[in-house]
Amino acid sequence: MAVFLIGGLFFLIGLAGLFTPEEFASGLGLSLVSAEGAGSVRAMIGAHYLAMAAVCVFAMLRQQPVLLLPVAAIELVMVIARGVAAANGEFGTSTLVPTIIEVVAAAVLLTAALRRPASK
Protein backbone atom coordinates (compact mmCIF):
# COMPACT_ATOMS: atom_id res chain seq x y z
CA MET A 1 0.00 0.00 0.00
CA ALA A 2 2.84 2.40 0.80
CA VAL A 3 4.24 1.95 -2.71
CA PHE A 4 0.89 2.98 -4.19
CA LEU A 5 0.95 6.09 -1.99
CA ILE A 6 4.49 6.90 -3.14
CA GLY A 7 3.37 6.31 -6.74
CA GLY A 8 0.44 8.67 -6.18
CA LEU A 9 2.75 11.30 -4.74
CA PHE A 10 5.10 10.92 -7.71
CA PHE A 11 2.08 11.27 -10.01
CA LEU A 12 1.05 14.55 -8.36
CA ILE A 13 4.61 15.89 -8.48
CA GLY A 14 4.83 14.87 -12.13
CA LEU A 15 1.57 16.62 -13.00
CA ALA A 16 2.73 19.77 -11.23
CA GLY A 17 6.04 19.73 -13.08
CA LEU A 18 4.37 19.03 -16.41
CA PHE A 19 1.46 21.46 -16.24
CA THR A 20 2.64 24.25 -13.90
CA PRO A 21 6.42 24.36 -14.38
CA GLU A 22 6.84 28.00 -13.33
CA GLU A 23 5.05 27.51 -10.01
CA PHE A 24 6.74 24.18 -9.47
CA ALA A 25 10.20 25.66 -10.04
CA SER A 26 9.41 28.61 -7.78
CA GLY A 27 8.44 26.22 -4.98
CA LEU A 28 11.91 24.69 -5.28
CA GLY A 29 13.60 28.07 -5.09
CA LEU A 30 14.33 28.17 -8.82
CA SER A 31 13.55 30.98 -11.22
CA LEU A 32 13.00 30.28 -14.89
CA VAL A 33 14.55 32.91 -17.13
CA SER A 34 13.13 31.68 -20.43
CA ALA A 35 10.43 29.55 -22.01
CA GLU A 36 13.05 26.87 -22.49
CA GLY A 37 13.40 26.69 -18.72
CA ALA A 38 9.72 25.79 -18.38
CA GLY A 39 10.17 23.15 -21.06
CA SER A 40 13.11 21.71 -19.15
CA VAL A 41 11.07 21.48 -15.94
CA ARG A 42 8.29 19.73 -17.87
CA ALA A 43 10.70 17.20 -19.37
CA MET A 44 13.24 16.69 -16.59
CA ILE A 45 10.90 16.80 -13.60
CA GLY A 46 7.33 16.35 -14.82
CA ALA A 47 7.98 13.46 -17.18
CA HIS A 48 10.53 11.91 -14.82
CA TYR A 49 8.09 11.73 -11.91
CA LEU A 50 5.18 10.56 -14.07
CA ALA A 51 7.35 7.70 -15.34
CA MET A 52 8.41 6.79 -11.79
CA ALA A 53 4.74 6.79 -10.73
CA ALA A 54 3.90 4.44 -13.60
CA VAL A 55 6.70 2.04 -12.62
CA CYS A 56 5.51 1.99 -9.00
CA VAL A 57 1.95 1.13 -9.99
CA PHE A 58 3.04 -1.38 -12.65
CA ALA A 59 5.39 -3.19 -10.26
CA MET A 60 2.70 -3.54 -7.63
CA LEU A 61 -0.07 -4.57 -10.03
CA ARG A 62 2.23 -7.19 -11.58
CA GLN A 63 3.43 -8.25 -8.13
CA GLN A 64 7.02 -7.74 -9.27
CA PRO A 65 8.52 -5.60 -6.49
CA VAL A 66 12.03 -6.03 -7.90
CA LEU A 67 10.94 -3.62 -10.66
CA LEU A 68 11.02 -0.91 -7.98
CA LEU A 69 14.83 -1.12 -7.70
CA PRO A 70 15.54 1.44 -10.46
CA VAL A 71 13.11 3.93 -8.92
CA ALA A 72 14.59 3.30 -5.47
CA ALA A 73 18.06 3.87 -6.95
CA ILE A 74 16.95 7.20 -8.43
CA GLU A 75 15.61 8.31 -5.06
CA LEU A 76 18.78 7.14 -3.26
CA VAL A 77 20.99 9.12 -5.63
CA MET A 78 18.74 12.14 -5.11
CA VAL A 79 19.29 11.81 -1.34
CA ILE A 80 23.05 11.61 -1.92
CA ALA A 81 22.83 14.74 -4.10
CA ARG A 82 21.00 16.51 -1.25
CA GLY A 83 23.90 15.59 1.03
CA VAL A 84 26.39 17.04 -1.46
CA ALA A 85 24.26 20.18 -1.70
CA ALA A 86 24.16 20.49 2.09
CA ALA A 87 27.94 20.09 2.29
CA ASN A 88 28.25 22.96 -0.19
CA GLY A 89 25.88 25.25 1.70
CA GLU A 90 23.10 24.78 -0.85
CA PHE A 91 20.44 23.40 1.50
CA GLY A 92 17.67 25.62 2.79
CA THR A 93 14.04 25.69 3.82
CA SER A 94 12.77 25.23 0.26
CA THR A 95 14.61 21.91 0.01
CA LEU A 96 13.45 20.46 3.33
CA VAL A 97 10.13 18.97 2.18
CA PRO A 98 11.52 17.51 -1.08
CA THR A 99 14.37 15.94 0.90
CA ILE A 100 11.99 14.33 3.38
CA ILE A 101 9.94 12.96 0.48
CA GLU A 102 13.08 11.57 -1.15
CA VAL A 103 14.34 9.90 2.03
CA VAL A 104 10.97 8.29 2.79
CA ALA A 105 10.45 7.24 -0.83
CA ALA A 106 13.94 5.73 -1.04
CA ALA A 107 13.42 3.74 2.17
CA VAL A 108 9.94 2.50 1.25
CA LEU A 109 10.85 1.60 -2.33
CA LEU A 110 14.10 -0.13 -1.40
CA THR A 111 12.37 -2.13 1.33
CA ALA A 112 9.56 -3.13 -1.03
CA ALA A 113 11.95 -3.99 -3.87
CA LEU A 114 14.08 -6.27 -1.71
CA ARG A 115 11.29 -8.15 0.03
CA ARG A 116 10.90 -11.78 -0.88
CA PRO A 117 7.72 -12.68 -2.74
CA ALA A 118 5.29 -14.87 -0.83
CA SER A 119 5.66 -18.60 -1.51
CA LYS A 120 2.94 -20.17 -3.61
Distance CA 36, CA 40 (A): 6
Residues in the chain: 120
Q: Which helix (H) or strand (E) holds 5?
A: helix 2-19
Give pLDDT, residue 30: 87
Burial class (CB in 10 A: 0-12, 13-18, 19+), 120: exposed
Closest CA to 19 of 6, 34, 38, 44: 38
Contact in structure between 40 and 31 (CB atoms under 8 Å): no
Q: Considering the entire predicted model, what is its pTM?
A: 0.89
Under the banding of pLDDT at 50, 70 and 90, the label for residue 94 is: confident
pLDDT digits (tens, 9 = 90+) for 17-37: 999 999 999 988 889 999 999
The pLDDT assigned to 83 comes to 96
